[in-house]
Amino acid sequence: MQLTLLIIRTMKNNCIYFLILTVGLMLSCSEDTIEENGIGSLDGTVVDAVSKTPLANVKIVTNPSSSTVFTDVDGNFLIEAVKTGEYSVQAELEGYTDAFEAVTILSEQRSSVSFELVVGGDENRAPKVPELLSPENGASDLEAKVEFVWSSSANDTDEIVYTLQLRNGTTNEIQNIEVVADTMATVEKLRYGSNYFWQVTATDGENEPVQSVLGQFSTTTTPENDFLYVRSINGNSVIFSGGNDEDADDENTGEINFNEFQLTSETYNSFKPRRNVETSKIAFLRTVDGATQLHTMNLDGSDIKQVTNAIPLNGFRVSELNYTWAQNGGKLYYPSFDKLYSINPDGGGLSLIYQTPDGSFISEVSAAAFDDNLIALKTNDSNGYNVSVYTVRLSSGTIEQMVYRNTPGAVTGIDLDANGSRLVYAKDTSGSENTQYRQFSSRIYIYNLNTNSEALLNNGVTEGLNDVQPSWSPSEGEIIFTRKPSNLNSEPEIYISTLNNFSNDDLLFTNASMPDWE
């Protein structure tokens, strides 16, 4: 589990002093936000910790650096024109221990801090007990990346080392994170749906360590991820959700395999996930007693229910079979040999809605979101070849438009756009037909059903690579697809290509295939 630690070194006086380090981060329900390139200001007061007398000529500096100022006779100071952001403010005065405070500068607002300086001394003292600041005790629904903040201070010149102990209350897994001098740490990739406990220990190497109280928080049950996909683990296909790193500077510097969340168990073979936005359900295929059955589950992987039973999906290679949501999530269409069936998501209402006139197998089906009467089909023989791709008007059961008829080579991943005017698919341009169903040069095409024209998605894929399983993005401005080398048993990866910018494909997930983006 990867840990990211933010470490800020404290500054030391050349004279003998006590070091007090107080970094606070206040959680607030205010709707104020930190605006980039905004300007605010900072004021404050400095007094003696015991007598409360104002202290003059105290040097005030910030990190990151802004203006350096000194307090007036009343212990007050003001720094104008400070860029918005988070700062550590330091107060220095000879004979006193330096003090630190954290502050957030907001655009066109004045922030304030106050210091109580302690007179320095020579005796060695233990650090003060750390105070947990963030996350607040009992906080819930936190994301998998959490910033931990605490306050503490030294009572002499000894360097303070903090140990953040983080325990997963669900799995009892313990992480010990050492932080030198700083009072914050960021931990990533926490488990979703878990209860955590955290505690900070401070030690100066001279005295007995001191510990904070125990803090508790919980992570959110399910991340709001855009993508679904499949990864092979221990011989089974396992369904994951994942996100796009929106904090990246650009699409090519984002984190790969971002925010992954496992939805199905490794003990089952589950694949071909399809989300339905209207019903907030995920449909998928699972091998049950040797048969390929349709299932549904919630977006967090819970409440798995088998949909099909007596008539499972069947045809050429179950990994090449596909189904579709239809009628705003009210139906699922799926193939079984030369027949296409409709079934309700609860398993009822099974009916035959189409049968191929020549007995060819239906391998894939796609439905137009805004035309319940229009579907696209891909048919093939028992070896996966002699492919035909065409649209069907369900009300009449007739073929409306033929895209391919008995074409050589493999065709995969048909997907209609919402209006039913364009069809995306992948075709092996080598035309190879072999017993291993190996493809050598699969490329993505978009067929315009209004003009009967085909266009290659010129995304710069190189020789030796296959682009397969394409489908539209929700905006239909991008295509998501699987790319893998042409050799058998190669590791697949999931990419996005933007239709108006083919200079770079955006890699999203490694060792992943069968993407879905709704």
- What distance in Å separates the CA atoms of residue 192 and residue 218, rounded to the nearest whole number? 8
- CA dihedral sign of residues 71, 76, 82, 88: positive
Q: Between the ranges 210-214, 250-254, 419-423, 495-499, where is the mean pLDDT highest?
A: 419-423
Residue bearing the bigger pLDDT, 155 or 142: 142
- What distance in Å separates the CA atoms of residue 351 and residue 437, rounded to the nearest whole number? 31
* pLDDT tens by residue, 377-426: 999 999 999 999 999 999 999 999 999 998 899 999 999 999 999 999 99
- Picking from 228, 305, 236, the residue whose alpha carbon sits closest to that of residue 262 is 228
- Whether the per-residue pLDDT at 177 is higher than 90: the answer is yes
- What distance in Å separates the CA atoms of residue 159 and residue 180, rounded to the nearest whole number? 8
- For residues 21-33, give the mean pLDDT: 37
Give the chain's length: 518
CB 159 within 8 A of CB 153: no
31-45, 57-71, 76-90 — which is least confidently predicted? 31-45
List, in order, residues 6 or more apart from 337 with CB less than 8 Å away. 314, 315, 361, 362
Alpha carbon 393 to its chain's center: 39
For residue 135, say if its preceding peptide bond is cis, omega within 30 degrees of 0: yes
- Radius of gyration from C-alpha coordinates of the chain: 31
- Whether the per-residue pLDDT at 29 is higher than 50: the answer is no
**Number of H-type helices and E-type strands within the chain:** 0, 41
Question: Residue 155 has what pLDDT?
Answer: 56
Q: Between the ranges 6-10, 30-34, 117-121, where is the mean pLDDT highest?
A: 117-121
Question: Residue 35 has what pLDDT?
Answer: 54
Question: Residue 505 has what pLDDT?
Answer: 85
Q: What does DSSP say about strands 174-180 and 59-63: parallel, antiparallel, or unpaired?
A: unpaired
CB 347 within 8 A of CB 309: yes
Query: Which pLDDT band holds residue 128 (cuts at 50, 70, 90)?
Result: confident
**Per-residue b/e over 84-119, b at no fewer than 16 CB within 10 Å?**
bbebbbbbbbeebbbbbbbbbbbeeeebebebbbbe
DSSP of 294-318:
EEEEETTS-S-EE---SS-BBSS-G
> Phi, psi at residue 318, to the nearest 5°?
-60, -30
Average pLDDT of every residue of the chain: 88
Q: Three-class SS of residue 320?
A: helix
- Whether the per-residue pLDDT at 349 is higher than 50: the answer is yes
- Whether the per-residue pLDDT at 511 is higher than 60: the answer is yes
* pLDDT tens by residue, 353-391: 999 999 999 999 999 999 999 999 999 999 999 999 999
* Burial (CB count within 10 angstroms: exposed 0-12, middle 13-18, buried 19+), residue 246: exposed
- Whether the per-residue pLDDT at 454 is higher than 70: the answer is yes
15-19, 142-146, 152-156, 286-290 — which is least confidently predicted? 15-19
CA separation, residue 224 to residues 228, 489, 515 (Å): 11, 32, 16
- Picking from 153, 48, 41, the residue whose alpha carbon sits closest to that of residue 87 is 41
Question: Residue 133 has what pLDDT?
Answer: 94
- Whether the per-residue pLDDT at 7 is higher than 80: the answer is no
* pLDDT tens by residue, 455-480: 999 888 889 999 999 999 999 999 99
Query: Which pLDDT band holds residue 118 (cuts at 50, 70, 90)?
Result: confident
- CA dihedral sign of residues 26, 27, 32, 38: positive
38-42, 160-164, 252-256, 396-400 — which is least confidently predicted? 252-256
- Picking from 128, 127, 103, the residue whose alpha carbon sits closest to that of residue 114 is 103
Question: Residue 31 has what pLDDT?
Answer: 40
Query: Which pLDDT band holds residue 247 (cuts at 50, 70, 90)?
Result: low
List, in order, residues 6 or more apart from 235 with CB less than 8 Å away. none
Question: Residue 218 has what pLDDT?
Answer: 95
Residue 483 is encoded by which pair of tokens? 């790319």
- Whether the per-residue pLDDT at 24 is higher than 50: the answer is no
- Whether the per-residue pLDDT at 32 is higher than 70: the answer is no
Q: Residue 96's beta-bridge partner residues?
A: 119
- Whether the per-residue pLDDT at 208 is higher than 90: the answer is no
Domains and CATH numbers, the chain: 17-117 (2.60.40.10), 131-219 (2.60.40.10), 227-517 (2.120.10.30)
* Burial (CB count within 10 angstroms: exposed 0-12, middle 13-18, buried 19+), residue 359: exposed
Global confidence as pTM = 0.66
Residue bearing the bigger pLDDT, 303 or 129: 303
CB 192 within 8 A of CB 220: yes
